[in-house]
Amino acid sequence: MNDNAEEILNDDLYEHYRFTAAIGQEPLRVDKFLMNFIENATRNKIQQAIKAGNVLVNDQVVKANYKVKPHDVIKIVLAHPPHENLLVAEDIPIDIVYEDDEVIVVNKPAGMVVHPGHGNYSGTLVNGLIYHIENLPKNSNERPGLVHRIDKDTSGLLVVAKTEFSMANLAGQFFDRTTQRLYYALVWGNMEEEEGTIEGNIGRSFKNRLQMDVFPEGDFGKHAVTHYKVIERFNYVTLVQCKLETGRTHQIRAHFKHIGHPLFNDARYGGDRIVKGTTFTKYKQFVENCFKILPRQALHAKTLGFTHPTTQEFLNFNSEIPEDMQLCIEKWRNYTVNQK
């Protein structure tokens, strides 16, 4: 296994501990609070975790002198899974688009986590894969078959390697950017241009370690390029096709937030509120109904193309936009027609 897959998959942080301060919690420094809750933890280790930005209170990075208050949610997140070897095979239905002796292409539903991590030790795609396929090769992060991933609440296509050779080959293709990936996204606002390119390094946010930020000056993060094309306009939101030149964590979500067009109902990046539109009560109710129909970010990995590791044939796969996202698009389409 070469380092290409590690380059692609090394951006995760895993939640190791989570505590909710009691209603009667007296103000207490977060480092002292954690020493009271984590068995065998030294103050030095906790302070080092805080210094590294790995302690969050209410999803915000805090300093050691932060005073914990009632109902605060305190988390410690680290770069490795809390139980790295916890892989249990589960008989989970998997939507298999293509399979042969070397690769398998799956259509992942929204809500399914790709690989186990803290709080998601079961029900993941990997749990299902190791049930259906024996002896999947592991990458440098001990994740069977994976050379790329998509977010839990993003739906769409994913290719998995079934052999060591295919894993190395596919990892090389992703690293060399010879794969083809098209996403459909519903974003807030009426995009000014019919097509364009978003460039800007992507790295983990200094303020919120669960978010990615864009650093346009290139002094931090990794080079990232997203090409987009408008598919359909609905006045207050726009359906766009996104072509990834690079594959950074949360790339589309972070890039579109950066240009002022966060993905519709993307809670992590500010799309779960009314970003564009009117103040009319009917409009607000309409948007809330759309959120209920599509209770996740409006992002779907629609097409995936790559060169088969052994036959060298270029394979291209297409998936339908899932029902929840399609219903939301239809609702916006009808709303736009009725406004004319």
> For 80-84, 183-187, 246-250, 274-278, which range has the lowest pLDDT when averaged over its residues?
80-84
> Among residues 124, 143, 176, which one ends one of the domains?
176
> Is position 151 annotated as part of the catalytic site?
yes
Domain annotation covers residue 77: no
| Averaged pLDDT for residues 181-191 | 97
- Token match 């239809």: residue? 330
Q: Is the dihedral of CA 321, 105, 153, 202 positive or negative?
A: negative
Both 243 and 146 in one domain: the answer is no
Domain annotation covers residue 340: yes
Q: What own/partner pairs with CB < 8 Å and gap ≥ 24 does 273-278 have?
A: 275/188, 275/189, 276/188, 276/189, 276/190, 276/236, 276/237, 277/236
Per the model's pLDDT, the better-predicted residue between 215 and 115 turns out to be 215
Q: Is residue 101 within 8 Å of residue 163, measured between CB atoms? A: yes
| 9, pLDDT greater than 60 | no
Per the model's pLDDT, the better-predicted residue between 234 and 17 turns out to be 234
pLDDT at position 242, please? 98
Both 50 and 183 in one domain: the answer is no
Catalytic residue among 151, 153, 266, 324: 151
> For 18-32, 274-288, 316-330, which range has the lowest pLDDT when averaged over its residues?
18-32
pLDDT at position 141, please? 63
Q: What are phi and psi of 230, to 5 degrees?
A: -70, 130
DSSP state of 109: P
Both 234 and 329 in one domain: the answer is yes
End-to-end alpha carbon distance in the chain: 57
Both 290 and 315 in one domain: the answer is yes
> Among residues 136, 153, 176, which one ends one of the domains?
176
14 band by pLDDT with thresholds 50, 70 and 90: low
| One-letter amino acid of 21 | A
Domain that holds residue 189: 178-340
Give the count of domains, the chain: 3
Both 64 and 118 in one domain: the answer is no
Both 318 and 184 in one domain: the answer is yes
- Give the dihedral of Cα atoms 223, 53, 171, 99; nearest 10 deg: -120
pLDDT at position 8, please? 39
Domain annotation covers residue 26: yes
Q: Is residue 235 within 8 Å of residue 287, measured between CB atoms? A: no
- DSSP bridge partners of 184: 241, 300
Select from 249, 181, 263 the least CA-distant residue to 213. Answer: 249
- DSSP bridge partners of 78: 14
Both 237 and 312 in one domain: the answer is yes
Per the model's pLDDT, the better-predicted residue between 172 and 279 turns out to be 172
3 band by pLDDT with thresholds 50, 70 and 90: very low
* Dist CA 112 CA 285 (whole Å): 29
Burial class (CB in 10 A: 0-12, 13-18, 19+), 36: exposed
| 83, pLDDT greater than 90 | no
What does the pLDDT look like over 228-252, one tens digit per residue?
999 999 999 999 999 999 989 999 9
CB-based burial, 62-99: b 16+ in 10 Å, e otherwise = bebebebeeebebbbbbeebbeeeebeeeebebeebee
Select from 248, 250, 335, 340 the least CA-distant residue to 297. Answer: 250
85 band by pLDDT with thresholds 50, 70 and 90: low
Both 191 and 340 in one domain: the answer is yes
What does the pLDDT look like over 110-134, one tens digit per residue?
999 998 765 566 789 999 999 988 8
Per the model's pLDDT, the better-predicted residue between 88 and 10 turns out to be 88
Q: Is the dihedral of CA 324, 160, 116, 34 positive or negative?
A: negative
Both 183 and 328 in one domain: the answer is yes
Q: Is residue 240 within 8 Å of residue 229, measured between CB atoms? A: yes
Q: Residue 163 maps to which CATH number?
A: 3.30.2350.10
* Dist CA 202 CA 65 (whole Å): 29
Both 263 and 202 in one domain: the answer is yes
Q: Is 71 helix (H, G, I), strand (E, B) or coil?
A: coil
Determine the length of the chain.
340
